[in-house]
Amino acid sequence: MSKPGIAILGTGMIGAVHRRAALLAGASIRGVMASSPARAEEAAQDWGVPKAYADIAEVVADPQVQVVHVCTPNHLHRAMAQAALEAGKHVICEKPLATTLEDAQALAALAASTGLVATVPFVYRYHPVVREARARIAQGELGPLRLIHGSYLQDWLLDPASNNWRVDPKLGGTSRVFADIGSHWCDLVEWVSGERFVDVSAAFETVIAERAVAAGKSFATPAAGGEVQAVSSEDVAAAMFKTSGGTLASLTVSQVSAGRRNRLWFEIDGGKASVAFDQEDSERLWMGYPDQREVTFYRGPGAGSAEQRRLSTLPAGHAQGYAQCFESFVADTYQAIDGQRPEGLPTFDDGLRSAQIVDRVIASARSRAWTRIDAAQP
Residue by residue, DSSP assigns 127-165 as: SHHHHHHHHHHHTTTT-SEEEEEEEEE--TT-STT---G
Interatomic CA distance for residues 311 and 123, integer angstroms: 12
pLDDT score of 104 more than 70:
yes
pLDDT score of 218 more than 90:
no
Helix (H, G, I), strand (E, B) or coil at 350: helix
List the Cα angle 70/229/98 in 5-degree steps: 25
Interatomic CA distance for residues 129 and 135, integer angstroms: 10
Interatomic CA distance for residues 120 and 350, integer angstroms: 7
Q: Find out whether 239 and 250 touch, Cβ atoms under 8 Å.
A: yes
Position 376 scores a pLDDT of 43
Position 221 scores a pLDDT of 54
Closest CA to 283 of 309, 330, 318: 318
Secondary structure E strands in the chain: 5-9, 28-33, 51-53, 67-70, 90-93, 118-119, 145-153, 197-205, 210-212, 228-230, 236-243, 248-254, 263-270, 274-278, 284-288, 294-298, 371-372
Share of the chain above pLDDT 70, in %: 95
pLDDT tens track for 81-94: 999 999 999 999 99
Position 213 scores a pLDDT of 84
The secondary structure of residue 181, as a DSSP letter, is I
Q: Find out whether 67 and 90 touch, Cβ atoms under 8 Å.
A: yes
Q: Report the sign of the C-alpha dihedral through residues 41, 120, 102, 185, in that order.
A: negative
Q: Which amino acid is at 17?
A: V
Q: Which amino acid is at 180?
A: D
Instruction: Please give the residue that has the higher pLDDT: either 220 or 283.
Output: 283
Position 377 scores a pLDDT of 41
Phi/psi class of residue 286: alpha, beta or left (left: φ > 0; alpha: ψ in -120 to 50)? beta
pLDDT tens track for 122-148: 999 999 999 999 999 999 999 999 999
Give the chain's end-to-end CA distance (angstroms, integer): 45
Task: Kindly tell me the number of DSSP H helices and DSSP E strands found in the chain.
Answer: 12, 17
Q: Any idea where the domains of the chain sit in the sequence? A: 5-119, 144-270+347-367
Question: DSSP 3-state helix, strand, coil percentages of the chain (rounded to 5)?
Answer: 35, 25, 40
Q: Which amino acid is at 54?
A: A
Interatomic CA distance for residues 191 and 343, integer angstroms: 11
Domain 5-119's class? alpha beta
- 108-131 mean pLDDT: 98
- 246-273 mean pLDDT: 98
- 240-258 mean pLDDT: 98
b/e string for 5-44 if b means 16 or more Cβ within 10 A?
bbbbbbbeebbbbbbebbeebebebbbbbbeeeeebbebb
Name the CATH superfamily for 144-270+347-367.
Answer: Dihydrodipicolinate Reductase; domain 2 (3.30.360.10)
Share of the chain above pLDDT 90, in %: 92
DSSP collapsed to 3 states, 289-329: CCCCCEEEEECCCCCCCHHHHHHCCCCCCCCCCHHHHHHHH
Q: How would you class 111 by CB atoms within 10 Å of its CB: exposed for 0-12, middle for 13-18, buried for 19 or more?
A: buried
Q: Find out whether 77 and 70 touch, Cβ atoms under 8 Å.
A: yes
Position 374 scores a pLDDT of 83
pLDDT tens track for 221-244: 555 557 888 999 999 999 999 999
Position 225 scores a pLDDT of 58
Position 378 scores a pLDDT of 33
